[in-house]
Amino acid sequence: MAKAKTIPAKSLQAIQESKAPVNKKAARSRVGKLPDARADVPFDDDVAELKIYPRTVEDRAVYINPKTNRKLTEFQFKVLDLCAQIPKGKVTTYKKMADAVNSSPRAIGGVMRINPFCPQPVPCHRVVASDGFLGGFNGQWGAGGNMRNKRAKLEKEGCKFNADGFIVADKSGDFNVFGDFDTSKL
């Protein structure tokens, strides 16, 4: 692998647009030293490129979504902030997220569709329909290559599926749904 070069960035936008290769071993060794690193969020080896998530009001005000060439709204960042809370090995539903921000499941799906931070730090593959159906992924609803990728990511994280492609519920009828969102900082 070619050695990564250090390039001075004049703005968050310059960092976002950078396509510099990521040295995974070096990144793993430094991840705990980052100022906002969280020990409960594991380093994901599947990430091919580093995605910087804007956390300050100033950074969010200038961030341009590369998928849409538009700024993200306050609501969209609120939904992405919620999604970033879903732990590995769990899923949540479009409805649970909608309830947390007083919105609709369809609006949540719209934000997930344009998520520029997938799979880390905003793991939108962990958002499914209320009945355990996968829903959509990367702009696609139903069957197809994107849905196979979503299912593969969830299987890698421990989710089980039935023959019809729905997440298998445990004995209590639950399919490991996360809904304990911290909305105090939204």
| 161 φ/ψ angles, rounded to the nearest 5 degrees | -125, 150
CA angle (158 as vertex; 156, 159 as ends), nearest 5: 105
What DSSP character marks residue 10?
S
Cβ within 8 Å of residue 103, ≥6 positions away: 75, 79
Instruction: Give strand ranges (E) for the chain.
Output: 64-65, 70-71, 92-93, 127-128, 136-137, 140-141
Work out the widest C-alpha separation in the chain, in whole angstroms: 54
> Which amino acids are annotated catalytic?
124
